[in-house]
Amino acid sequence: MPLKKAVIVPGNGAGDVERANWYGWANKEIKKIPDMTCLLKNMPDPVTARETIWLPFMEKELKCDEETVIIGHSSGAAAAMRYAETRKVFAIILVGAYTSDMGDETERESGYFSRPWQWELIRGNVSHIVQFGSTDDPFLPWEEQEEVAEGLKADLHKYSDRGHFMNSRFPELIDVVKKFKEAA
């Protein structure tokens, strides 16, 4: 299947996603890639980011499928991984991915961390997995980011100065999407 679409799944609590972090900028940049479209929408249940609400939204509203790269940031990365456990997608790009609720009540309520991660199922449903992580992330321990990379055998882009990737531009992300499109 060819790559035709990118879907940006934001972190929880992002507010207006067009103005949050790098999301709106990346949405515009991806749309400049020939024969690519990009979807960025405010998610339902934006604070708790419940799996039972976000995954059906990704399937029915955002129509994530075998021609889609899901770009998930923080809670959106958790959603992308759970989505790919049971559905085929072209690729996932995980930004600030993690494996546990880290003792946080909202993270626990989201439902993503209530059971073991099915790394093999995800790898079997996804052609390409790229992960961006930073050792100075103030929210996520590096060990959890490494656990994701190891479990998924992801192409890990490791930084020491990006924090939780809450900057307004993210050119390395666009480069990865372009490479996926060229290889498709």
* 171, 78, 157, 17 alpha-carbon torsion, rounded to 10°: 10
Measured distance CA(80)–CA(84) in Å, rounded: 6
Segment (H or E) for 9 = strand 5-9
Of the candidates 45, 85, 81, 90, the one whose C-alpha atom is nearest the C-alpha of residue 63 is 90
Active site residues: 74, 137, 164
The answer to whether 76 touches 57, Cβ cutoff 8 Å, is no
